[in-house]
Amino acid sequence: MRILILHNAVAADAAPDERDVLDQVAAIAASLARLGHEPAALGCDLDLPDLGRNLQDAAPDLVFNLVESLGGEGRLIHVVPALLDALGVRYAGCPSEAMFTTSHKVLAKQLLVGAGLPTPVWYELRRGRLVASGGGVATPARCLVKSVWEDASLGMDDDAVVAADPESLVAALGARAGRPGSPWFAEAFVDGREFNLSVLDGPGGPQVLPPAELTFVDYPPDKPRIVGYAAKWDEDSFEYSHTVRTFDLAPADAPLLARLREQSLACWDLFGLRGWARVDFRVDAAGEPWILEANANPCLSADAGFQAAVARAGLTFDDAVARILAAVPGA
């Protein structure tokens, strides 16, 4: 098949988290070629009429959607798959509705609560008034301030972990208002273990790949244990070299991991995910898991967690790409 890999256009001086999509394009193009397809790549921006014309000219058999933002705005991540739907172009990856509901973290948490799935309580500033939602971790000691829309842990550093009293939360949310990544919310900080569960589509339905734990090696006692921006993108930082992924989990974790798998599949169904996804968890001191986020179309770079989980499952990356293609409706 002639497969067009669609991605967000990246400026030459873009930050590492934005440039990462080009690594994904290279990985997918190489895999598609090995699988016997004819790959091509196209960057897109806010000029949607131009994108429509380019799609018409290219006339691909299929699009592989790697678009993570438009014009630098993560909140527009769902626009391109919605356009593909409108144009009748088949594409690999999650549908536009899933992209929207999982990318808006507060909306996603509302849906999790509605489905009876555990997610930490969160706080928003509405017309200057602090509003709490959800019932999980009802009386947190600290909260983690997050962007509602942006991914890649944008804005998440040690200062994003704040005391959970109303005065501190109002001050923290107010201080970030208007900054890149706005709007912001504060989520109860679960100071415990963190797990990523990757999910891959397959002929028998979604398959949860081996769970990965993110460990915080030699972190000072007073340093927040979070997978923030530096841990993901700043190769010279303490956080990057001391936040370590492992799949070597103790047999005693088996009951916990079974619950994580079950809840990951529940997220897959709840959000209508397709192709590939990842669900992030924190586990509190009592051993209770809390869903932080469901990630539609997570990073497919060679050093990302999804590829690592694929390998841990005994699959090749080409196996995974072939299964993602096979999951496209009408494939």
Q: With H, G, I as helix, E, B as strand and everything else as coil, classify residue 37.
A: coil
Which pLDDT belongs to residue 135?
72
pLDDT, tens digit (0-9, with 9 covering 90-100), for 219-277: 999 999 999 889 988 999 999 999 999 999 999 999 999 999 999 999 999 999 999 99
Which pLDDT belongs to residue 138?
62
Which pLDDT belongs to residue 286?
94
**Tokens 């942006």 correspond to what residue?**
150
Which pLDDT belongs to residue 313?
98
Sequential DSSP letters for 206-272: -EEPPPEEEEETT--TTS-----HHHHH-TTSHHHHHEEEE----GGGHHHHHHHHHHHHHHHHHHT
Biggest alpha carbon–alpha carbon distance for the chain = 59
The pLDDT mean for the chain works out to: 94
Rounded CA-CA distance 1/90 in Å is 12
Q: Is the pLDDT of residue 327 over 90?
A: yes
Q: Is the pLDDT of residue 212 over 80?
A: yes
- Model confidence at 134, pLDDT cuts 50, 70, 90, reads confident
Q: Which of 86-90, 136-140, 185-189 has the lowest mean pLDDT?
A: 136-140
User: What is the pTM assigned to this prediction?
Assistant: 0.94
Which pLDDT belongs to residue 17?
85
Q: Is the pLDDT of residue 331 over 80?
A: no
In this prediction, residues 22-32 reach a mean pLDDT of: 97
Which pLDDT belongs to residue 12?
85
Q: With H, G, I as helix, E, B as strand and everything else as coil, classify residue 283.
A: strand
Rounded CA-CA distance 289/263 in Å is 9
Q: Is the pLDDT of residue 152 over 80?
A: no
- Look at strands 62-65 and 91-92 and give their pairing: parallel
Which pLDDT belongs to residue 257?
98
User: Could you count the other beta carbons within 10 Å of the beta carbon of residue 208?
Assistant: 20
**Tokens 């949310």 correspond to what residue?**
173
Which pLDDT belongs to residue 151?
81
User: Could you count the other beta carbons within 10 Å of the beta carbon of residue 147?
Assistant: 23
Using a pLDDT cut of 90, give the percent of the chain over it: 87
Give per-residue burial for 161-190: e unless 16+ CB within 10 Å, then b.
bbebeeeebbebbeebeeeebebbbbbbbb
Q: Which of 16-25, 84-93, 306-315 has the lowest mean pLDDT?
A: 16-25
Burial class (CB in 10 A: 0-12, 13-18, 19+), 324: buried
In this prediction, residues 186-197 reach a mean pLDDT of: 96
In this prediction, residues 173-181 reach a mean pLDDT of: 89
**Tokens 């969160």 correspond to what residue?**
122
229 and 154 Cβ atoms separated by less than 8 Å: yes
Rounded CA-CA distance 204/195 in Å is 24
Within 8 A by CB and 6+ apart from 160, the residues are 144, 145, 146, 172, 226, 228
Whose CA is closest to 154, among 103, 215, 94, 220? 103
Which pLDDT belongs to residue 15?
87
Which pLDDT belongs to residue 33?
98
